[in-house]
Structure 1
Amino acid sequence: MDFRFSPSDDAFRRDARAWLDAHPPAEATPRQWERTLGADGWIGLGWGRTPYGNRTATLTQQVVWAEEYARTPHTPPRLGHIGENLLAPTLLAHGTAAQKDQFLPPIARGEAIWCQGYSEPGAGSDLAAIRTTATRTTATRTTATRTPSARTTSPRTPATYRVTGQKIWTSHAHEADWCFVLARTEAGSHRHHGLSLLLVPMDQPDGSVEVRPIRQLTGTSEFNEVFFDGARAHPDHVVGGEGNGWRVAMDLLAAERGVSTLAQQIGFGEELERVLEEARDTADPLLRDRLVRQWAELRTMRWNALRTLGGGPDPAAPSVAKLLWGGWHQRLGELAMAVRGVAATAGPYDWTESEPYELDAAQRLFLFSRADTIYGGSDEIQRTIIAERVLGLPREARGQ
């Protein structure tokens, strides 16, 4: 396969670079930055031709944009990533015309922020074990009564779903306007059966959605717990139809590991450069060998990602990509500590302050990367997917 970019890709790169240079994001809040991107059509490059205001871009041009964005100093992590790259492709494939018209324009404009309600405390990598329920209520008819003085009418209550359960590791839940929730809509159903994907507003007038941040080893809180206590979802906001949630959810997860993995590798490369700079004068041959291997593996991941994007459907590709980058990034964190040696275990500490010292970039890398082989589908689950669905090996016995 030819991995070189075409002249039109190079022209697109110049346009992207010029726009990013002309729109420094430093002064903008994350929400303001999303609206800035949306105003000039930079949200939804991979959606194809739609009436929602997005630019159209080829697959290689999407790669160009992702790489240029990642290379630009001080561009923030995308707050709208989940809506743009996960929900929108799912709606384009499975949504009704009304759902597309309602939800895609605000995403394209950078106005609606979404989060993903999949994992639960007892159903992380084993997503089919979820227990969150969505019970449909029937509409109540308007009733009229006569009194000696007047005729009164009680308000009509529309049909709705009431969502009850707990989700965990939910990125951006504390900032999101909406959440797409995988829930059981069929009472007594098991595993992959009886599931539906519902679009649930996070701002519920009765307070039936509660978000609690999860403090991590790094001291930050990128993830959250979300509690649904009878939260309402409109019957028209079931994506793909009731009971088809597993198929829709799997298609959504396949979209999760597309072009964005190449942008992720730009960030990995910058982290590796910092480790290499710190190790520049090391004479340890074993350490130098690890550094070279880390560099070579990152290049290999890039070629594999480009090959996967340019080829036909490959059911193993998402799992292979996750196994590659999860293990690589975790090893990079370990390598950063090995380069620094014993100094990696300490940092500046002000004994007059009660708070612990601030972690530096290498320490945050090491601590955060411990989760790389777990979140987004653990290594064990990815290997099981490859074994069962691609290689056709006997399926692992699971409880009902």
Structure 2
Amino acid sequence: MNNTATVFEKMLSPEVRDAFLLRKEGSYNISPEELAELKEYILSDKCKTDIKRLCNRDFFLSIPHRTLLKKKSSQKKRTIYRFLAEEKMLMKLMAFVLHDYDDIYEDSVYSFRIGKHVSRIFYDIRKNDLCNTKWVLKSDIKSYGDNVQPGILADMLDALFKDTDPDLCWFLRTLLMRGRFYADGRLMEGSTGALSGCPLTTFFENVYLKDVDMLIRKECDYYCRYADDIAIFSSSQEEAKGIYIKLKDLFSERGLSFNEDKTDILMPGEKFDLLGFSIEGREYDISKHSMKSIMWRMNHKARKLVRCQKKYGLSREETMKKMIDRIDMYFFGRGLDTNELNWVDWSFRILTRCDSLRKLDNYCQECIRYVGSGGKRTDSKYRVRYKTMQRMGYRTLVHAFYHGIDENDKRI
């Protein structure tokens, strides 16, 4: 495909659509039903017609529905904008093509970039012993997607695409600036930010801070950002404070702010959390927040299975097997047979200790016993023996950590 082709021209290319579907086939976070539906649309004449309509500047996308979803293991809610199924699939294809522009971002931005795995952050930190030698400014951006200013973002997209791809520029500006959505069955007007939950959101968020990333990277020893999560390593406390003030002003100009509850400047060697991991010197473990989130998922599934057991008369063995399969899928996933990393592949590359893994193993076994005893939390649940779990396919994380890593898959 010609590199000078526009995004819509690339979307019309059979080779590009085949590459997109091939990547989706290798993903372990899409169900077989969703994949079949995606294939049917992407390979259809309807998809080509929809792309051509956009080429002709016929904006046909529906007004999205805004939904507030409760975050798992938290009382906070996040905003999601939902489009029709075919519109969402079309934007997924567009997001795939837009990865051709990944090289416009600073190298230290790791969010949702093909071929740039986030484990590189931890490799760089450990290799250069940054945690023991540098001051760390650790923070995240408060409600990042919701607070993006559509007008500012649209102007940035104009600067990127107006000369080379004006049709794409028109589409993205129209999508962002429409300012209408449905909420609770009523048509509302107001800013939709970066349209959180839309397949193009991550692209919008990366573009929005592109120049800020480049500026801050030049003023510190090491900078990394993944979506709204930021870590900046500096030679002194004064330098870290100066960067914090400068970054705060830059954010303010764009309608953004730090999440002050998660913002701190830490001295060399001090413990901090980054992207779900707890870092202390050269030691890496799972963070408390991630542990809480995983345990919430397992507990939620166990309670749901007990309700199903009572409602549908499932046997003890059936519910235990379902719980074990759920645990296995969550940690080991289908990524073992695909080009994507599952939880174990991703985490084991980074972890240097297994304290949290042992706690997770114990908690998962408690969930299996809870299900196997019909929802009893008394000592009777211990009648479910560990050997019984093993026979049903249960495997521990600690054993996998020490014995289950492929010899060609070295940790960082």
TM-score, normalised relative to structure 2: 0.25
Please identify which structure carries the higher helix content. Answer: 2
Return the structure number with greater relative CO, CA threshold 8 A, min gap 6: 2
